[in-house]
Amino acid sequence: MSAPISFTTGPFAGWTVRGELKELQKADMGRKYGQKDRRPLDPPPVLQLRFYRVFNNGTAQQWEHEIDAYTDGIGIGCVCHVDLFRSTPRSKPERINQSLQAPRTTNEMANAGQASTYTTLLVGTRAVSASCVYHEGKKILAFVFSDLAVRAEGSFFLRYRVFDIMSAVPGGTQHPALAETFGGTFQVYSTKSFPGLQASTDLTKVR
């Protein structure tokens, strides 16, 4: 669970808000990227971002409720960045949703975990903006990574981090990190061993 953040500018100015990121759809497989044969991860990863307004933050009376009227205005400035990690028996965190103990800047977050990241193997759009889409009959804020591919074979997983590039927090800190999560494991195959694309899912078709 992420830590609450107090905003001084942006859509949540004057509020204390907690963000929560969930991988609604994980990639299952991919074909090793080639200059003449590029196939994106299948199905494309889809993330949902939820916001909770926090009251009496830091007290015994702290409580929160979800800001459920999601619009493009609420998601403006929210960007999800993805990093790639090779999956080994001990490489993946035990908990899927990792806490952010305090607002961290884009640079601070980018420098974390460089020893174990394989992000240079990723091809495609690694940072996408939030979109307001319909899912299961209601509007949600979603991030769709539709064109990611990997340059190497093997088992991998993704780390997703959401930043708000339009807002600031007390002290003038810009680009606060709202939430992060780790996705499920997927396999990247060689061209010869690739089992073929799956049928499109409802989330793949979401708009």
- Encode pLDDT of 111-132 as tens digits: 445 445 799 999 999 999 999 9
Tally of domains within the chain: 1
Q: What is the largest CA-CA distance in the chain?
A: 59
Domain enclosing residue 161, as ranges = 5-189
What's this model's pTM, rounded to 2 decimal places? 0.82
Provide the pLDDT for residue 163. Answer: 93
Interacting residues of 134 by C-beta distance below 8 A, sequence separation 6+ = 140, 206, 207
pLDDT tens-digit series, residues 85-121: 998 765 555 444 444 444 444 444 444 454 457 999 9
35 within domain boundaries: yes
pLDDT band at 134 (very low <50, low <70, confident <90, very high): very high
Rg (CA), the chain: 18
Percent over 90 (pLDDT), the chain = 55
Provide the pLDDT for residue 149. Answer: 94
Cα separation, 60 vs 53, in Å, equals 16
Provide the pLDDT for residue 198. Answer: 66
Provide the pLDDT for residue 89. Answer: 64
196 within domain boundaries: no
Average pLDDT in the chain? 83
Q: Which helix (H) or strand (E) holds 75?
A: helix 72-75
Instruction: Give the CA distances from residue 205 to residues 46, 110, 133, 179, 200, in Å, rounded to whole numbers and listed in that order.
Output: 11, 31, 11, 25, 7
207 within domain boundaries: no
What CATH number does residue 74 fall under? 2.60.40.3960
Name the CA dihedral angle for 70, 40, 177, 138, rounded to a multiple of 10 degrees: 10
203 within domain boundaries: no
Cα separation, 15 vs 171, in Å, equals 15
Residue 71: phi, psi to the nearest 5? -140, 170
Beta strands in the chain (DSSP E): 5-6, 16-25, 29-31, 46-55, 63-66, 78-86, 122-123, 127-129, 131-135, 138-144, 149-150, 154-164, 168-169, 173-174, 177-182, 186-189
Provide the pLDDT for residue 114. Answer: 47
144 within domain boundaries: yes
131 within domain boundaries: yes
17 touches 44 (CB < 8 A): no
176 within domain boundaries: yes
pLDDT tens-digit series, residues 168-179: 787 766 677 899
49 within domain boundaries: yes
Interacting residues of 174 by C-beta distance below 8 A, sequence separation 6+ = 105, 165, 167, 168
Query: CB-based burial of residue 120 (10 Å sphere; 0-12 exposed, 13-18 middle, 19+ buried)?
Result: exposed
